[in-house]
């Protein structure tokens, strides 16, 4: 059995929709897309990420009520979720000047 490396999926939380970007251990982007703030869309994202790797780690930029459904569905699916504080996100954007979100 071949073990597939893990991936990170970063999520930019929005009011009605979120944006997800998945990268592998080398930083190569695997997918990037917008998805709705509803249970079915989050579950579809979890399934997509699970097809890409055996281990998926999630990073989110908000823990406010806007992210409540997203966080609940991820945790209910036993996903590893990490909160990335806004100041870290802001600092990192300076390292990627040419890239828009």
- Residues 64-91: pLDDT tens digits? 999 999 999 999 999 999 999 866 555 5
Closest CA to 56 of 38, 39, 42: 42
Q: Is residue 19 part of a domain?
A: yes
Q: How high does pLDDT run on average in the chain?
A: 87
Kindly give the pairing relationship between strand 56-60 and strand 80-83.
parallel
Band (96; pLDDT cuts 50, 70, 90) = low
Domain range for 64 is: 13-95
Examine residue 60 and state whether it is found in any structural domain, yes or no.
yes
Domain count for the chain? 1
- Contact predicate 35/45, CB 8 Å: yes
1 within domain boundaries: no
In angstroms, what CA-CA distances link 86 with 15, 17, 29, 39, 101?
Answer: 16, 19, 22, 25, 15
pTM of full prediction above 0.85:
no
Q: Per-residue pLDDT tens for 27-59?
A: 999 999 999 999 999 999 999 999 999 999 999
């Amino acid at each position: 059995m071949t073990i597939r490396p893990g991936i990170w999926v970063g999520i930019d939380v929005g009011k009605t929709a979120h944006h997800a970007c998945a990268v592998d251990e080398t930083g190569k982007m695997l997918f990037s897309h917008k998805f709705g703030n509803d249970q079915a869309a989050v579950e579809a994202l979890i399934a997509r990420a699970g097809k890409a790797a055996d281990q998926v780690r999630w990073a989110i930029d908000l823990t406010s009520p806007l992210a409540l459904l997203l966080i609940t569905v991820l945790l209910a699916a036993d996903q590893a979720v990490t909160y990335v504080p806004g100041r870290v996100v802001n600092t990192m954007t300076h390292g990627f000047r040419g890239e828009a979100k």
